[in-house]
A and B are shown apart, each in its own frame.
Chain A
Amino acid sequence: MENLLTVRGLTIQYRAEVSTRAAVDGVSFDVASGEVLGVMGESGCGKTSVAMAILGLFSGGRAFVSGSILFRGQDVLAMNEKSLRNIRGAAISMVYQDPGIALSPVMRVGTQVAEVTRAHKKWTWKRCCAEAHSMLGRVGLSPTDRIFSAYPHQLSGGQLQRVVLAQALICGPALVIADEPTASLDARSQFEFIELLRELKRSSGISLLLISHTPEIQASLADRILVMKEGEVVEHGSFDRVYWNSAHPYTRTLLRRDRRIAEGLPEPRREASKTYQLAKRI
């Protein structure tokens, strides 16, 4: 199976911070077709920078970028803005952490989804809107008419995250990058969103680069996992291998936190935590 995305030696140094270390330093990884690669690490480890580099968003000159990012054999870092525009939204899409600020506050939500189609296909506006309607339904938003003509401030966080997902999926990309997609949601919305992504993975064979520091989310979705720390790759491999048999202490702190936290606390609380785990076993 040929790899959809091949990243080799990616190094990103922000122009404004020449004295400190590079944000991303020599990162290499692959994403195969139809697989979910989870990226874990604490904030500041460079995950979001990697995501932005894959979309070629550094072409404005804010950072020095070196290395190679091969998408379907073509180097994203060598493309000009026009070719990049053809890829963004159509072949590679991104779902952002805070949907509230990723959408324009003065445009209707459905219009913003339709705009993505309009940018990439030569359809009439009417057809773009129809497609947007159907996409909103497919991400579980209903009634689609009311949602389509709603403005962002009228929808909840969970609904907005689905809208952003609809934007990302509407042109049928091969790779979706999700950057902490559930970080701004409450527990129930998080759960529902993960279910949505799981269903998506099952039905459409899309590749997903899932950036999240929450182990439960990675455990629900990831096939393979990549652990980053301070701009470098610390460990990578299949999720099961990394979870059960990680050699690296940092990875263990990231992934197996329940056990770790409980150790530091006085008796009654530890009991509650264990009970919670017990109560939740299938």
Chain B
Amino acid sequence: MSSQTQLAGGTTDVDALVRIERLNQEYAQRRPLTGVEFKVRALDDASLTIRRGATLALVGESGAGKSTLARCLALLERPASGKIWFDGNDLLKLRRRELFPLRRQIQLIFQDPASALNPRMTASEILAEPLAIHGEGTKAQRRERARELLDQVGLPAASENKHPLEFSGGQRQRLAIARALALQPKLLILDEALSSLDILNQDLILKLLTDLQAAYSLTYLHISHDLRLVSQFADEVAVMHNQRIVEQRATLDLFTFPAEIYTQELLAAMPSLESICAGRQA
């Protein structure tokens, strides 16, 4: 199908939920005692597009700028220049009050759920918190919704009074996902959300995410350095290198015909399990 070869900007406005255009970000740092300023470039004219209802994987090495991009998209940081279009809105031009209802539609899930969840709150409180902030429902209704969410992510109802540290790693990540779902977002950004889990849990969480995507028409931006995993769940892949997006293609295309040299290097760097095992016999 022709939708396989979509480059950033090639999709129509109706299809694209997110369009990031030429994002630039730099951090100014000052050497202490001498006060000399130097700038660190975190994003260099980065552009990408995310289709509605699809999963885009953002891959690249550490330090390439993936997390910075995610933070800009989630409005945790303000980029130095560029545009971010979300569902037809120019996010960087809106004022606080107009932005508030949009914020709930973009949720971020981090790599380490233990530090992303307040250890002093119970699971039920953690899930009810975003609802309370956006003024939804009474306290009882929020509690009920928290129970629903726990059920949706496959956590037992009895865990509503547990604290995050009483859960296992995989369960904690489920809790983080449940919290992200509380406000019925359109876009979920997962920043290396699977990296700290062992492979069994990775599979389970991936399956959960796939199910949720089908049920709620979610769009995912999945940041990962693990190409193996990416090949299994992503519709499109964007490759990031040196703070820019090097290419963005449908998964199948990228893996069979990588256009950029850097992408080829990335793919070549990680042999598959079967090839390794085949190599052992020799």
Contacts and interface: CB of A to CB of B under 8 A. Distances in A.
Contacts of B61: 186-189
Interface in A246-263: 253-254, 256-258, 260-262
A258 B272 contact: yes
B32 interface: no
Interface string B235-267: 100000000000000111001100000000011
Given A219-B277, A262-B232, A186 B225 contact: yes
A280 B168 contact: no
Contact of B252 (A42, A186, A213, A268): A268
Interface residues of A, number: 44
Interface in A227-250: 239-240, 243
Nearest to B111: A184
Contacts, number: 129
B274 A188 contact: no
B252 A271 contact: yes
B226 A187 contact: yes
Of B198, B206, B269, B275, chain A has the most CB atoms within 10 Å of the CB of B198
B273 interface: yes
Nearest to B55: A269
B144 interface: no
Given A188-B61, A214-B199, A273 B266 contact: no
B231 interface: yes
A275 B134 CA distance: 45
Contact of A43 (B62, B169, B234, B280): B169
Contacts of A189: 61-62
The A interface, classified by DSSP as helix, strand, loop or mixed, is helix
A261 B203 contact: yes
B210 interface: yes
Of A43, A44, A190, A191, chain B has the most CB atoms within 10 Å of the CB of A43
Interface string B104-127: 000000000000000000000000
Nearest to A266: B210
Contacts of B196: 183
B85 interface: no
B56 to A, nearest CB: 13
Contact of B277 (A243, A260, A264, A268): A243
Contact of A272 (B251, B275, B276): B251
B6 to A, nearest CB: 13
Contact of B270 (A156, A187, A253, A260): A187
11 contacts: A42-B199, A43-B169, A43-B170, A215-B199, A257-B199, A261-B203, A264-B210, A268-B250, A276-B231, A281-B274, A282-B278
Given A183-B195, A258-B232, 5 more contacts: A219-B273, A268-B235, A268-B252, A269-B235, A277-B274
List the 7 closest A-B pairs by CB distance, nearest first. A186-B225, A280-B272, A213-B198, A272-B251, A276-B231, A219-B276, A42-B198
